[in-house]
Amino acid sequence: MIRIEDLYKSYNNFHALKGINLHIAKGELFAYLGPNGAGKTTTIRILTGLARLTSGNAYLNGFHIEQEKRKAKEQSGVVPQLINLDQELTVFENLDIHGRLFQMRAKERGKKIHKLLGYVELDQRKDNLVKQLSGGMKRRLVIARALIHSPRILFLDEPTVGLDANIRRRIWALIKKIQQSGTTIFLTTHYIEEAEFLAERVAFLNEGRIVAIDTPQRLMSGQGTWAIDRVDDDDIKTVYFKAREEAKQFIAMQQESFTLRRVNLEDAFLALTGKKVK
């Protein structure tokens, strides 16, 4: 559904993307994980026609993003990092305007908006001004807006940034529901738990390059299963173990107290890049 071949993007002399290759299957929930500045938003902006690629090729559902721009754009909806709703219009009006942009007829728009508002649980808020909504509601509205033209692909650029843990989990449930309806999902995040919980495959992006790509389980398995963190001067050093018993024996032999935890994607990212995702 998404094919990226040797994609480069430069801003003057700065190389933001340095040869990205990716194939994402129909219906897959794929996470693009990397620290600030890794190139996540740049990739989405190129794939959704908001920025031009410097070299390489990319296709959405077989349509070249630059040579068949209009068709390619129709394949996807995007939830940008910054909420760009019209705050002075109602929930309904925000969706209606977006439907008009896709040349949907009034009857079709009305039906789709009704369905989407139920889907994202905003049906009681239809006539509220956007500025009266909470952050989580606004995020759900932006997701509904991205789905108005029934795209095959949904791009989510850090969809839960700035939301509290409860609201974040609600958005995760919504994302899973959208995938279960057959939509391919390309998600960028620097929340480890988000990628672990949602994604079937994860790419680690670091300084414009993909350094690893696999299932979360396989990415994590290289580090063992259990970890303990130790404060060492002003840094945290981590020791990894294959078995819980092994880790517990290690702890029993130490003077200080340690917290035992499961290995996560942050450990895998750190091992590959020497940096943390957050």
Residues that bind ligand ATP (CB under 6 A): 11, 14, 16, 34, 36-42, 190
41 or 48: whose CB is closer to ligand ATP?
A: 41
- Helix, strand, or coil (residue 23): strand
In the complex, the smallest distance separating the C-beta of residue 50 from ligand ATP, rounded to whole angstroms, is 10
203: its two tokens: 């790419």
CA distance 215 to 169: 21
Strands 201-206 and 29-33: parallel
81 or 128: whose CB is closer to ligand ATP?
A: 81
In the complex, the smallest distance separating the C-beta of residue 197 from ligand ATP, rounded to whole angstroms, is 19
Instruction: Report how far apart, in Å, the C-alpha atoms of 131 and of each of 135, 137, 170, 219 are.
Output: 10, 10, 21, 41
59 or 191: whose CB is closer to ligand ATP?
A: 191
22 or 148: whose CB is closer to ligand ATP?
A: 22
In the complex, the smallest distance separating the C-beta of residue 56 from ligand ATP, rounded to whole angstroms, is 15
Name residue, tokens 């919980």.
197
Q: Under a CB-based contact definition with an 8 Å cutoff, are residues 203 and 213 in contact?
A: yes
Give 56's contacts (C-beta < 8 A, 6+ positions apart): 4, 5, 6, 7, 8, 19, 20
3 or 209: whose CB is closer to ligand ATP?
A: 209
7: its two tokens: 């994609």
In the complex, the smallest distance separating the C-beta of residue 277 from ligand ATP, rounded to whole angstroms, is 9
